[in-house]
Amino acid sequence: MRIFKFSNIIFIFGLLFSIFVLCYSIYRTFNPQIYFYQHATVSISPEYYTIYLIISLFLIFFFIFCLKLDHNKKINVSLLLSTIIISLYIFEFYLWNFDKLNKIKNNTIIHQINILNDLRNKNIDAYLNYFPKNLLENISTINGLKYKEEIIFPINGIGNITSISNNEHGYNPIIAYDEYGFNNPKGIYDDNKKIDIIMVGDSFAEGVSVNSEDSIQASLRKSNYNTLSIARGGSGPLMQLASIKEYAEILKPKVVLWFFFENDINDLKTELKSSTLVKYMNDENYSQKLIFKQKQIDFILKKYLKNKEIKFLKNINQSSKNFNEVKKFNSNRIVKNIIYFTKLTKLRKRLGILDYIKLFTLPPSVPHPWLLNEDTPIKEFEHILKNAKKLVSSWEGKMYLVYIPYKSSYYKNASRHPISKHVFETTNKLNIPVIDLHTKVLINHPRPFLLYEDHFNVNGYKFISEGLIKELKKENIIPSK
């Protein structure tokens, strides 16, 4: 008898819950939620709630039907439902713990330091990742780092060391950098074969967020293109021009692929504050001769990164004074996590039911990130591209601009970023060929947004590389024999 009553309670609860979901879905269809997600403001489109509206209607009829079943069938169905629900929450609990263990927040430097210490214990020379743009954040380093009586602005990294990248996909990629501090295999500069392709750009061209073998340059090498990436995360157009002057001009590749991302113009604003970097734009003959100063660069960057690590560890003690605030923050997180757990958030995401992005829509009044304004240095960008093309042409090389769109372009009903119009007008004016990854590659994928986090994931880099290789072959760019 108790089991029978328990069965009725389950069905009545299920019926009431289904009615609640139905009412909530109808409400949200006309009052969509607004989120700030990945640099853009987005709202969930009505189609998302339509899924739950249909499911809730089905469940309402299902539970009404169950209430009319005979005694034994009610018990059997209720036991089956209980088993399914308990199993779902056990699996949800597993997913929460799995993600907790395998995905640490991107900005937890202490976690990265722990990984570096493990590598050091194995006699591996390991350092925090170096981003040249960080020098621009401090007035004392905005023009470079001091080595004896000389000021050097390294646009590369420490040579022959190991570093780690941020965690975007559930792991921290461990990267072994080449002799000049770029993400390439060691010894590739000594190859007697002519360099086919040199890639310049920011983190996308460097290949952050994935292991080295999953980067674009690695894929090009697998297709027999002798390829080097001289890109560094966070660099903008001025640093990219500098990298061509300092490294590509000496190596003289057949092709230079300039990877342009939609925040690069924004980075240029900051770069223009450095008198050292501005010289690359204003003086065609200017060079720091960085390729011949790697020992000096290694010395100053090791000192710089060691000091950064020491400073961070010292600040940990200071941060502990704010324990009460952290505790309050964690309490808020606990409440949110309980709600997410109750809603089977992790499981729905794994099953694709919680695929928010494919159901996101950008309202017409909501702009893309990194919008243009009166301070946007479009003319300076044009001048930089003009200098770069002239420099590459001086050794009979050819430069292509590879346009990388941000994933906000693939939200539902979204338009292209307005910066694309200005970039294409500039490249047309300068007669620089463009490989637009939107129109040439990404548009061919059924759900391009799934190829990104902040950067491309492994599948994203693979898809981009395959499309890029096809475009190179269309341009009759074939590997050297």
- At 364-404, the pLDDT tens digits run 444 566 667 778 899 999 999 999 999 999 999 999 999 99
| Helical segments of 103-141, H only | 109-121
pLDDT digits (tens, 9 = 90+) for 201-224: 999 999 989 999 999 999 999 999
Question: Whole-structure pTM over 0.75, yes or no?
Answer: yes
**Banded model confidence at residue 168, pLDDT cuts 50, 70, 90:** confident
CA neighbor of 296 nearest in space, from 128, 150, 142 = 150
pLDDT tens column, 88-125: 888 888 877 766 545 444 446 777 888 899 999 999 99
Compute the CA torsion angle 271, 273, 277, 278 (nearest 10 deg): 110
Contacts of 141 (CB under 8 A, 6+ apart): 134, 135
Classify burial at 140, counting beta carbons within 10 Å of its beta carbon; exposed 0-12, middle 13-18, buried 19 or more. Answer: exposed
H/E element, 360: strand 360-361
pLDDT value, residue 108: 65
User: For residues 427 and 385, is the Cβ–Cβ distance under 8 A?
Assistant: yes
Amino acid at 177: Y
Answer whether residue 329 shows pLDDT above 50: no
What residue type is assigned to position 364 of the chain? P
Maximum separation of any 2 CA atoms in the chain, in Å: 92
Q: What is the mean pLDDT of the chain?
A: 85
- The model's confidence at residue 6, banded by pLDDT at 50, 70 and 90, is confident
CATH of 143-317+377-474, one of 3.40.50.1110, 3.40.1390.30, 3.40.50.11540, 1.10.150.120: 3.40.50.1110
467 Cβ neighbours under 8 A, 6+ residues apart = 437, 440, 441, 442, 444
pLDDT at position 479 is 86
Length of the chain: 481
pLDDT at 194: 83
Centre a 10 Å sphere on the Cβ of residue 344 and count the other Cβ atoms it contains: 19
Which residues sit opposite 37 in a β-bridge?
40
- Closest Cα partner for 442 from 454, 460, 428? 460
CA-wise closest residue to 238 among 160, 353, 374, 133: 133
Nearest residue to 257 via CA among 231, 218, 219, 224 = 231
Task: Give the model confidence (pLDDT) of 343-360 as tens digits.
Answer: 777 777 666 655 554 445
Q: Where are the alpha helices (DSSP H) in 223-291?
A: 237-243, 249-251, 264-271, 275-282
Structure tokens at 246: 């300092």
CATH 3.40.50.1110 residue ranges of the chain are 143-317+377-474
Q: CB count, 10 Å around CB of 251?
A: 15
Query: Tell me, what DSSP letter sits at residue 415?
Result: P
Which one-letter amino acid corresponds to residue 198?
Answer: I
Map residue 472 onto helix, strand or coil.
helix
Per-residue confidence (pLDDT) for residue 37, from 0 to 100 = 55
For residues 132-142, average pLDDT? 95
* Whole-angstrom distance, CA of residue 188 vs CA of residue 294: 16
Query: What 8-state DSSP symbol labels residue 248?
Result: I
Residue 352: strand, helix, or coil = coil
Q: How many CA atoms lie within 13 A of 216 on its CB side?
A: 32
pLDDT digits (tens, 9 = 90+) for 229-277: 999 999 999 999 999 999 999 999 999 999 999 999 989 999 999 999 9
- Confidence bin at 325 (pLDDT 50/70/90): very low
Q: What is the DSSP letter of 259?
A: E
DSSP 128: P
The SS3 call for residue 309 is helix
Residues 126 and 119: beta-carbon distance below 8 Å: yes
Q: Round to whole Å and give the CA distance between 146 and 130.
A: 16
Exposure pattern of 227-246 as b/e (b: 16+ CB <10 Å)? bbbbbbbbbbbbbbbbbbbb
